[in-house]
Amino acid sequence: MPIFFSEHTVSELWEWSDHQLEDAGQLSLPLRYNSETDHYEPIAWEDAFALTAAGLNALDDPDRAEFYTSGRASTRRRFYLSFSVGPTGPTTSRTARICATRPPAGKGTVTLKDFGHVDAIVSFGHNPGTKHPRMMSTLHDAERRGVPIIVFNPLKERVLERFAAPQDPIEMVTLSSTRIASAYHQVRVGGDLAALKGIMKAVFTLDAESLIGEEPGVLDRAFISEHTTGIDASRLISKRPPRMK
């Protein structure tokens, strides 16, 4: 693995296809990016732990740290993760019924019932047809209520295009189906951040154009002020060009 990264710069790897990157193998040791050489360079485990600890200790609030692991990880691995991040706040160790586990929350904080109260659904990179098919009936009901469903995913999953609900007798008898995604954007792998930047920029622009005197724009400023931080930094980030090639 060290030889591989010494032979290929990060700029070069940006040009590789997803299949090429997958065939290159898996990481076997910690790496650190060197911006001067444009290479990933191996570092000792002790140094990796020290860098991680320094980053966590530099946070001004434990809520700024998020720990994310695959739902396919073993229970023991999830326990070790939740145990190791315990000093940052209360943690739990449980198996997620969706695709991932995120201590200390343990699993996703959005429930299927929440989808019955939304005005729009934006889906980034998840494949409910193969990962959590129970959600398809929920998306089916949302579309029937006129809720726009916007999908960003390199993979075009068929059921996110059209879906025949097994509980719908008419669709079962007539072999018909319901359109699910109002718009389906096949971004490149890793392109979701670039797409989010574009959305942020469009929202900030629309907000600025809709401000007339003391009339509010499209942003919920009261909610942003009470529940979020970093709005000014987000404005700056949205103006930077994405690092995609």
Q: What is the pLDDT of residues 169-219, one digit of tens each?
A: 888 888 888 889 999 999 888 788 888 888 888 888 888 888 766 667 788
What pLDDT does residue 93 have?
Answer: 37
Q: Say whether 39 sits in a helix, a strand or coil.
A: strand
What pLDDT does residue 91 have?
Answer: 41
What pLDDT does residue 98 have?
Answer: 40
Share of the chain above pLDDT 70, in %: 81
- Counting every residue, how long is the chain? 245
**22: Cβ contacts below 8 Å, ≥ 6 apart:** none
What pLDDT does residue 183 have?
Answer: 92
Question: Is the pLDDT assigned to residue 46 strictly greater than 90?
Answer: yes
Exposure string over 41-68, b if 16+ CB within 10 A, otherwise e: ebeeeeeeeeeeeeeeeeeeeeeeeeee
What pLDDT does residue 31 have?
Answer: 93
Q: Residue 245: count other Cβ atoms within 10 Å of its Cβ.
A: 7
Least confident window among 93-107, 133-147, 193-207: 93-107
- HSE of 90 in the Cβ direction (CA atoms, 13 Å)? 1
What pLDDT does residue 132 have?
Answer: 76
Q: Residue 40: count other Cβ atoms within 10 Å of its Cβ.
A: 21
Question: Is the pLDDT assigned to residue 245 strictly greater than 80?
Answer: no
Question: Is the pLDDT assigned to residue 100 strictly greater than 50?
Answer: no
Q: Alpha-carbon distance 75 to 106, whole Å?
A: 12
Of the pLDDT bands very low, low, confident and very high (cuts 50, 70, 90), residue 92 is very low
Of the pLDDT bands very low, low, confident and very high (cuts 50, 70, 90), residue 103 is very low
What pLDDT does residue 11 have?
Answer: 93
Q: Alpha-carbon distance 132 to 128, whole Å?
A: 5
- Report helix angle 231-239 to 192-210, nearest 10: 110
Structure tokens at 60: 């001004």
CA angle 124–98–144, rounded 5-degree value: 60
Could you tell me if 65 and 93 are in contact, meaning their C-beta atoms sit under 8 angstroms apart?
Answer: no
Of the pLDDT bands very low, low, confident and very high (cuts 50, 70, 90), residue 10 is very high
Q: Which residue has the higher pLDDT, 239 or 111?
A: 111
**DSSP code of 115?**
G
Q: Alpha-carbon distance 137 to 143, whole Å?
A: 10
Mean pLDDT of all residues in the chain?
80
What pLDDT does residue 45 have?
Answer: 92
Task: Give residue-wise pLDDT tens across range 63-80.
Answer: 777 776 666 667 777 777
Least confident window among 2-6, 14-18, 26-30, 66-70: 66-70
CA pseudo-torsion sign 194, 181, 110, 86 = negative
Which amino acid would we find at residue 88? T
What pLDDT does residue 13 have?
Answer: 92
